[in-house]
Structure 1
Amino acid sequence: MATPTQEPRQRTAVVTGASSGIGAAIARDLARAGFAVVLTARRADRLETLAKEIRADGGTAEVHPLDVTDRVAANAFAGRLDFCDVLINNAGGAFGTEHIAQADPADWRHMYEVNVLGALHVTQALMPKLIASGDGVVVVLSSTASFTCYEGGGGYSAAKHGAHVLAETLRLEACGQPLRVVEVAPGMVHTEEFSLNRYRGDVGKADDVYAGVPDPLVADDVADVVTWAVTRPSHVNIDLLVVRPRAQAAQHKVHRIA
């Protein structure tokens, strides 16, 4: 007598920094693609709102408040999960635009802890489950700043270069294991908080970043790219995908209209 075929379980995707912007957009898109999404960030209220939205749309979502810079909390979070097939290391940010001569080392330390060590903590904590899935995917959201420096961006470029190195090194070290490592490096993306945080709440300066730029990227554009990358066949790895708006030819070359 034939044994009934076991139903394949729903694949699980963890998204860090899911409370707003690119992280929230990625979570929505992955849920629409059929993943059970695990939402993490520090702001639990925003995560709960997003989870309700995803569930109302027919998706599966659960909330786990987490500060990725807290190694103990990252390990405890990983211990509460039964499965992890995809990890989206999105938590990050830029703080300050001062030149190196005036930069506050605390800003640099904060950017490194969130963008690099945060990704390291969560990746290490979830690595056993990613490998055990038989087809794990780690995505690192870096930036075009990871390979192009610019005035006032030293600390952010340094941190995002660290994220780039994390992805490249992990891909080498995981070779031969059932783990893909994807890096997505967005250029100019207009979200509600990134530039506002960078300019310490100065709305005018934050708005000036995108002034006159026809059609900068939005969070959904990056989410679409991430979902495409993680849903390639198991043998296909998207090593590095750079995505910019058409108006941005390079970090320092942006078309603006009056």
Structure 2
Amino acid sequence: MGISGRGKIAIVTGASSGIGEATAIALAEAGFQLAVGARRVEKLSAVATEIERISGSKPLALALDVTDTQSVDAFIAAVLERFGKVHVLVNNAGKALGRDPIDEVANEADWQEMLDTNVMGLLRMTRRLVPHLIASGEGHIVNIGSTAGHEAYAGGGVYCGTKFAVRAITGALRQELLGKPVRVTSIDPGMVETEFSIVRFHGDKARADAVYAGMRPLTAADIADCIAFAVTRPVHVNIDDMIITSIDQAGATRVARRDGQ
């Protein structure tokens, strides 16, 4: 039996599109009050409007760049001023940039941005919010990892490295918070058709579309459904790790494709 999120506050980072947007909407449907953050404020505003339509409650929607300490501090201060507490943190903000071999034409600026967003951004949000999650008595950290944190592939060394790091950080957190009222979950999706590949290939839509050609990828809503499930279990139940793939995927490079699909 699921537990309602009514009366609980959830933060979702990177909530302007894709998995973050779908998660914010799913949690609103489950009764949570939302604080959503992203860099693209115009897109975030549209998400906030949809959340308010669903829940009847206006979320706190603010600019958030997890790579910027001042932005993180301002966002969290605003959340605490508005709600006074936090129960759930969904560390969703993240990205892949490029798919070049490390020893060839890889862009080091892309490497730095992935490390700053996927690893340091997650750590910044978590460090600042852990005391408040403990104080809530029913805290939950959900880190969005990836199957890339379980299996590396050529051309994805740095991105995979960041997701292996997320996996390690999540495991360490679970041990550090043992005995405290905070659950820690890793949600690790495989191929999900969102803006992910468009961002990865710097706006090259044709190249992004080719990633999913001939197969049925997951959707953002598929992943949001799993996150909503995890955070609505009874408070003594922790979903440690959830690896989610399409039926057409059996590994980083093992994908069933069909002509004409």
Q: Which amino acid aligns with 1:97?
A: R
Aligned match for 1:202, one of 194, 201, 204: 204
Aligned match for 1:120, one of 120, 123, 126: 123
Are residue 236 (structure 1) and residue 233 (structure 2) matched?
no
Any unmatched runs of 5+ in structure 1? 1-7
Task: Provide the C-alpha distance between the structure 2 equivalents of 1:78 and 1:127, rounded to a whole number of angstroms.
Answer: 12
Following superposition, the deviation at residue 9 of structure 1 comes to: 7.1
Following superposition, the deviation at residue 16 of structure 1 comes to: 0.1
Task: Provide the C-alpha distance between the structure 1 equivalents of 2:20 and 2:256, rounded to a whole number of angstroms.
Answer: 27
Following superposition, the deviation at residue 73 of structure 1 comes to: 2.2
Secondary structure of residue in 2 paired with 1:14: strand
TM-score of the superposition, structure 1-length normalised? 0.94
1:13 match: 10
Confirm or deny: 8 A CA contact 1:199 1:206 kept in the other structure. yes
Larger mean Cα displacement after TM superposition, 98-107 or 57-66: 57-66
Confirm or deny: 8 A CA contact 2:6 2:31 kept in the other structure. no
Following superposition, the deviation at residue 14 of structure 1 comes to: 0.1
Are residue 107 (structure 1) and residue 110 (structure 2) matched?
yes
Aligned match for 1:157, one of 152, 160, 171: 160
Aligned match for 2:93, one of 88, 91, 94: 91
Task: Provide the C-alpha distance between the structure 1 equivalents of 2:67 and 2:75, rounded to a whole number of angstroms.
Answer: 13
Task: Provide the C-alpha distance between the structure 1 equivalents of 2:50 and 2:227, rounded to a whole number of angstroms.
Answer: 20
Counting only pairs closer than 5 Å after superposition, residues 73-88 of structure 1 correspond to structure 2 as 73-80=71-78, 81=80, 82-88=84-90
TM-score of the superposition, structure 2-length normalised? 0.93
Following superposition, the deviation at residue 159 of structure 1 comes to: 0.8
Secondary structure of residue in 2 paired with 1:247: coil
Once the two structures are superposed, residues 220-249 of structure 1 have per-residue CA deviations (whole angstroms, 9 ceiling, x without a partner) of: 000000000011111111111000000101
Confirm or deny: 8 A CA contact 1:107 1:155 kept in the other structure. no
Confirm or deny: 8 A CA contact 2:95 2:118 kept in the other structure. yes
Aligned match for 1:70, one of 35, 52, 68: 68
Secondary structure of residue in 2 paired with 1:140: strand
Secondary structure of residue in 2 paired with 1:34: coil
Aligned match for 2:34, one of 18, 32, 37: 37
Following superposition, the deviation at residue 71 of structure 1 comes to: 1.6
Task: Provide the C-alpha distance between the structure 2 equivalents of 1:78 and 1:51, rounded to a whole number of angstroms.
Answer: 17
Task: Provide the C-alpha distance between the structure 2 equivalents of 1:25 and 1:144, rounded to a whole number of angstroms.
Answer: 19
Once the two structures are superposed, residues 73-97 of structure 1 have per-residue CA deviations (whole angstroms, 9 ceiling, x without a partner) of: 2123222221110000000000001
Task: Provide the C-alpha distance between the structure 2 equivalents of 1:161 and 1:199, rounded to a whole number of angstroms.
Answer: 21
Q: Which amino acid aligns with 2:168?
A: V
Q: Which amino acid aligns with 2:188?
A: A
Following superposition, the deviation at residue 160 of structure 1 comes to: 0.8
Any unmatched runs of 5+ in structure 2? none
2:251 match: 250
Larger mean Cα displacement after TM superposition, 53-62 or 193-202: 53-62
Task: Provide the C-alpha distance between the structure 2 equivalents of 1:55 and 1:202, rounded to a whole number of angstroms.
Answer: 33
2:213 match: 211
Confirm or deny: 8 A CA contact 2:6 2:32 kept in the other structure. no
Task: Provide the C-alpha distance between the structure 1 equivalents of 2:123 and 2:14, rounded to a whole number of angstroms.
Answer: 14
Counting only pairs closer than 5 Å after superposition, residues 183-202 of structure 1 correspond to structure 2 as 183-191=186-194, 193-202=195-204
